[in-house]
Amino acid sequence: MSSSTGPDVSPYDALVLLSFGGPEKPDDVVPFLENVTRGRGIPRERLEEVGKHYFLFGGRSPINDQNRALLAAIRDDLTSNGIDLPVYWGNRNWEPYLAETMTQMRDDGITRAAVLTTSAYSCYSSCRQYREDLAAAVAQVDGAPRVDRLRQYFNHPGFVEPVVDASLAALAELSDQVRDDAVLVFVTHSIPTEMARTSGPEGDAYVRQHLSVVEEVSARLRHETGRRRQHDLVYCSRSGSPRTPWLEPDVNDHLTALAAGGTKAVVLIPVGFVSDHMEVIYDLDTEALATAEELGLEAARAATPGVDPRFVAMARDLLVERAAAVRGEDVQREAVGALAPWSGICAVGCCPNPRGERPALCGQDG
């Protein structure tokens, strides 16, 4: 559906924003964490311990409000560009649950929808698990619309360019005495090393995708500032059994090593996240910045893309791109950095479920 003045987005008659979800009040925290960890046998006492992070912020995750803002921005962008298309929102772990969204779409007469997830990179938890969520929701709803997930967008300029500008702004926050020698610390969510190894159709996609973005952002910062800076990819938000290897180094350990080596200043760049949700405001703004202060490191944290107009416009670009491909037209897919644009249809065996196979949509295997 599109207006006479806007680009053609047929056969799609809706767009869905699919995200992780988060608690909205203190009573939601433990039930939300039970949803997140269901099937992993994590005791309630451990969940209550993790939940203390949320209680530092009133028992409310910022992610739902950020998704509401993004939803509104995408709707405005589509309308202002002549695209008459409803935009829905569904979550994996909290209201509005995806199955409820599918029910509403069916009742509204939606027949085929494109799906944008709030994860830019490829691994089980950020890619295939959303495809499993879509399969489960469609199976629950008689007459549910057909859904096509839009491609991973880690190297789309609409994601990368806001990261570059946010990093420049964070550099500008540092004092003149230390700015030129500041280290760029790119941070993303840690995952089990086995999940990282099997990510993507050929393996190791999660780290390769991040490193590609890190190199692209660092090169652009070097061009803008005339300075070549050390830049490192590190991780945060490790969870699960301590016996299970996860990607390292942890951001706090890395800051400690940098300080021991004589570094005076850092810019924390949350390259793995699209908005300032809990992993950013707790793991970075609370823990990592406190670590930096204790170590005597001057530190600034770059903003996430959030509702930057370029990131919002990316949703439209991915929608138009996918619609044209479905119609069999030649498509120019935007991407920056060393890696090609990611496929919109996942290969068989891509990002396998570490706990066993489950049905998944939007791939060659479902």
Answer yes or no: do 114 and 249 share one domain: no
pLDDT of res. 225: 97
Answer yes or no: do 126 and 198 share one domain: no
Please give the helix or strand (H or E) that residue 148 lies within, else none.
Answer: strand 146-149
Q: First and final CA of the chain: distance in angstroms?
A: 25
For 265-279, write each residue's pLDDT tens digit: 999 999 999 999 999
Answer yes or no: do 131 and 172 share one domain: no
Whether 259 is in a domain gets the answer yes
For 315-325, write each residue's pLDDT tens digit: 999 999 999 99
Answer yes or no: do 165 and 129 share one domain: no
Domain membership of residue 130 as a residue range: 14-153+307-326
Question: And the tokens for 252?
Answer: 């706090």
Whether 146 is in a domain gets the answer yes
Give Cβ neighbours of residue 262 (< 8 Å, ≥ 6 apart): none
Q: Among 11-25, 43-57, 167-181, 243-257, which is the least confidently predicted range?
A: 43-57
| Strand, coil or helix: 183 | strand
Whether 225 is in a domain gets the answer yes
| DSSP 8-state class, residue 250 | B
Residue type present at position 309: P
Answer yes or no: do 190 and 276 share one domain: yes
pLDDT of res. 3: 47
Question: And the tokens for 57?
Answer: 């912020």
Mean pLDDT of 288-296: 98
Please state, in angstroms and rounded to a whole number, the distance separating the CA atoms of residues 299 and 292: 7
Please state, in angstroms and rounded to a whole number, the distance separating the CA atoms of residues 229 and 218: 8
Per-residue burial over 43-76, b if 16 or more Cβ lie within 10 Å, else e, is eeeebeeebebbeeeebbbebbebbeebbebbbe
Answer yes or no: do 37 and 52 share one domain: yes
**Alpha helices by DSSP H, 261-338:** 278-281, 289-295, 309-326
For 223-258, write each residue's pLDDT tens digit: 999 999 999 999 999 987 788 999 999 999 999 999
For 94-115, write each residue's pLDDT tens digit: 999 999 999 999 999 999 999 9
pLDDT of res. 47: 83
Whether 180 is in a domain gets the answer yes
Edge-first strand order for the sheet with 231-236 is: 231-236, 183-189, 265-269, 298-301
Answer yes or no: do 119 and 142 share one domain: yes
Whether 1 is in a domain gets the answer no
Whether 244 is in a domain gets the answer yes
pLDDT of res. 197: 98
Do residues 352 and 124 touch, judged by C-beta distance below 8 A?
yes
Answer yes or no: do 41 and 142 share one domain: yes
Domain count, the chain: 2
In CATH, what number is assigned to the domain containing residue 70? 3.40.50.1400
1 pLDDT above the threshold of 50: no
Whether 359 is in a domain gets the answer no
Mean pLDDT of 125-136: 97
CA nearest neighbour of 194 among 241, 158, 136: 241
Q: Per DSSP, what are the bridge partners of residue 268?
A: 185, 301
Answer yes or no: do 163 and 239 share one domain: yes
User: DSSP letters of 91-109?
Assistant: ESSSSSBHHHHHHHHHHTT
Among the candidates 262, 286, 301, a domain finishes at 301
pLDDT of res. 2: 46
Answer yes or no: do 178 and 121 share one domain: no
Answer yes or no: do 21 and 138 share one domain: yes
4 pLDDT above the threshold of 70: no
Mean pLDDT of 73-93: 97
pLDDT of res. 240: 75
Whether 27 is in a domain gets the answer yes
137 pLDDT above the threshold of 60: yes
Answer yes or no: do 148 and 161 share one domain: no
